[in-house]
Amino acid sequence: MKAMVLDAITDLKTNRNPLRLAEVPRPKPQSGQVLVKVRRCGVCHTELDEIEGRTPPASFPVILGHQVVGTVVENGDGAHRFKSGERVGIAWIYSACGRCALCRGGFENLCAAFQATGRDADGGYAEYTTVPDQFAYPIPPAFSDSQAAPLLCAGAIGYRSLALTGLQDGQVLGLVGFGASAHLVLQMAKHRYPNSPVFVFARSPNERAFAIELGADWSGDIDDTPPHSLTAAIDTTPVWRPIVRTMEYLLPGGRLVINAIRKEEVDKKELVGIDYPRHLWMEKEIKSVANVARSDVSGFLSLAAEIPILPEVQEFRLEEANKALLELKEQRVRGAKVLVVEP
């Protein structure tokens, strides 16, 4: 089968083609797994973190991709949830132990044995992939393959992030960065909290205009003071400076949720500028989001179908994965990027 393969950690500033197109053996489903014929795979900022070593793969070579939509073509022993031909999705959570206190308490995203699709196990930048059938999800018929792909990570992690803000209807929400996840969070927030103003901070004028198109009440650069202070905010950027600025905009008792698996080193010095009275005093809080649980994926898919949320997507051929990743690195984003594996 065809696959785009990562052979080693590399720097995208000097290596603009980190993935190579290769012919690799088609995987076989093990006990409890299904074999999925991939139709679409979303492109996520986490793939940049894997390529550049901020969240390195367990081994090489590896096939990236964790926003997978395809059809089941074979069941391993004991895999009974899906029939051949059913459309399923695969998300970032590939597996967890299911036995520890965290798993039993519904926090499998924090399990020490957590494994990630496309990092600890081969993912969807390929014509076929496998996954434990308990970690695959039926795709609602409301979505095309391309629309469904970004829902599986950008949407699910946004769903968890919004829940962790503790926002109540009428309170002000800030979205810092406006890529694949934030443009879905905006639509969720407007549905769940119709009386809550949503302010979007984005560096790109195009992203700011896109946010207004989707219903944001205000948009500006991170250095632009919003019309009102924020009760809560979600940061989806890969850098540090927005954290410092957003904490300044929070009301007393406000919470900033950081939706990023890692932060880049490029501007870490900005943290030196944190001033305790201005940024942290009055019980302001910073909370991180770690991975997703299965309940986040299934819960968001149901909500997205109900609203409905139809993400804006840009399509690329599988062979154009490097191009899509570079555009993401250079923050040339409108909505979500999706690889078309099978037309």
Q: What is the pLDDT of residue 109?
A: 97
Backbone angles phi, psi at 141, to 5 degrees: -65, -15
Residue with tokens 């250095």: 223
Going from N- to C-terminal start, the domains of the chain cover 2-152+292-340, 156-288
What percent of the chain shows pLDDT beyond 70?
Answer: 100
Q: What is the pLDDT of residue 57?
A: 97
pLDDT category of residue 160 using cuts at 50, 70 and 90: very high
**Is 272 a residue whose pLDDT tops 70?**
no
User: CATH for 2-152+292-340?
Assistant: 3.90.180.10
For residue 260, what pLDDT band results from cuts at 50, 70 and 90? confident
Q: How far apart are CA 166 and CA 257, in angstroms?
A: 10
Query: What mean pLDDT do residues 138-156 have?
Result: 95
DSSP summary character for residue 48: H
Token pair for residue 109?
């995203």
Q: Evaluate whether the domain defined by 156-288 bears CATH number 3.20.20.70.
A: no
Q: Please state, in angstroms and rounded to a whole number, the distance separating the CA atoms of residues 110 and 107.
A: 6
CA-based R_g, the chain, Å: 20
CA distance 42 to 149: 5
CA distance 4 to 6: 7
Same fold, 2-152+292-340 and 156-288: no
